[in-house]
Chains A and B, each alone.
Chain A
Amino acid sequence: MNQIDRLLAALLWLLGVLAIAGITHIVAVFALPEFAAKDPYVRISELAKPGQLTILPPSRPDMQVMPFADPAMVQSVCPFDLSQGGLRLHADVEGGRLLTFSFRTSAGQVFYSMTDLAAQQGKIDVVVLTAAQLEIVEAEDDEDDPSQDLRLVAPEPQGLVIVGALAVNQSERAEAEERVRSVACTVEQIA
């Protein structure tokens, strides 16, 4: 082997290394949410049962459920499993008080979000369904009396709803907790 051959062989080897590195990097970036994101959501699921709203404990220096959480925000979580039926979320909204809702997949990806500003006549009614359940519900609809529910199709059967209420000052925390607690999260049987 002369020198040019050796150089070409080394170059080819280097190209191979870079190609494999590129593929590994892309695979790792796509795979990371599947592995890492499970961690906080598994922790949340341990705290709350499907179809049940649970208030997350506030972050403290020595203990935190969610990193980077806003201490002014009282957050609660309602996991859902649509194989057991749809999820109904009902909230009565008080004017001027911030109440946020985000609908997420089990990996934390948001598929819908809203705040109290989206309330109609002071009420928020959302039903989370699978595509098949939506068909059933729509078939049962009364044309003369259309439903006021907002119907969301979840991209996967499992996920969670995070409800947040802002305590504008520290003394308002109890009141914000009350506001979050007043949100009803129930499993709705779909015939």
Chain B
Amino acid sequence: MTPGTAIAMKRSYRAHATILGKFLSAGCLGVLLGLFVTVVVVERGNGFGAVAAGPWTGWPRAGASDTDPYTRAILAYSGEISLSESEGMSFVAHGDSNGAEFDPACDYSLKGEIPSARFWTLTLLSPGGAPVANPAGRSNFTSSEILRASDGHFEITLSRHARPGNWLPIGDTSKFILVLRLYDSELGAPAAALDAARMPGLVKSRCQ
């Protein structure tokens, strides 16, 4: 081997190594980026076909037999058994009507219309979906349980401290969410748009 060919071989070896390095780095970075985007999308829980009305977000297609892959991945990640299409619909609120995230130190009042359904339930859960411990042992209301005014209207108060009327204790938690489920509702999967005025509002009152 002449010194010239040795240098040439070394050069081509180096060139190959750089190309291989470029392929490998692009591959690794691509896979990492893809997984990162997937985790972010799934964590945020924003699938296609979400319907927002005021503070509430619902996924009318979640319980259908032809859900989109994103909704399916999000449901699989959370481990939730979504309500099926004919059972009803569920809505989640992470904050009040002004868009501010729930603060457990504050009182909130839920009032307004609830879309017509045979039954509805309102549940206070941790963001992970577990019930929140509280001394009153109550984490939900059903449509049959609430106290209504003579004109049929009602108000549910969310607070850490005991409140008169329909009191839903917030309990000792740093974060919470509300889930509104409408059973045998007239809103079905075809309801692509919801009017915020037809959903109950969540108003923050005093904070302690």
Contact = CB atoms under 8 A, between A and B. Distances in A.
A23 interface: yes
Contacts of A102: 63, 84, 87
B183 A25 contact: no
B80 A107 contact: no
Interface string A37-77: 10110000000000000000001111010111111110100
Contact of A24 (B35, B65, B140): B35
B42 to A, nearest CB: 7
A162 B81 contact: yes
Q: Is the interface of A mostly helix, strand, loop or mixed?
A: mixed
Interface in A91-133: 98, 100, 102, 107-115, 117-118
B35 A67 contact: no
B157 to A, nearest CB: 19
Contact of B77 (A21, A36, A71, A167): A36
A71 B35 contact: no
Contact of A110 (B22, B26, B79, B84): B84
A109 B120 CA distance: 23
A13 B25 CA distance: 9
Given A21-B30, A21-B37, A64-B130, A166 B70 contact: no
A30 B68 CA distance: 10
Nearest to B130: A64
Chain B residues touching A, majority SS: mixed
Contact of B119 (A27, A98, A117, A162): A98
B144 interface: yes
A65 to B, nearest CB: 10
Contacts of B144: 168-169
B166 interface: no
B123 A110 contact: no
Nearest to B26: A16
A68 B125 contact: yes
B85 interface: yes
B133 interface: yes
B30 A16 contact: yes
B38 interface: yes
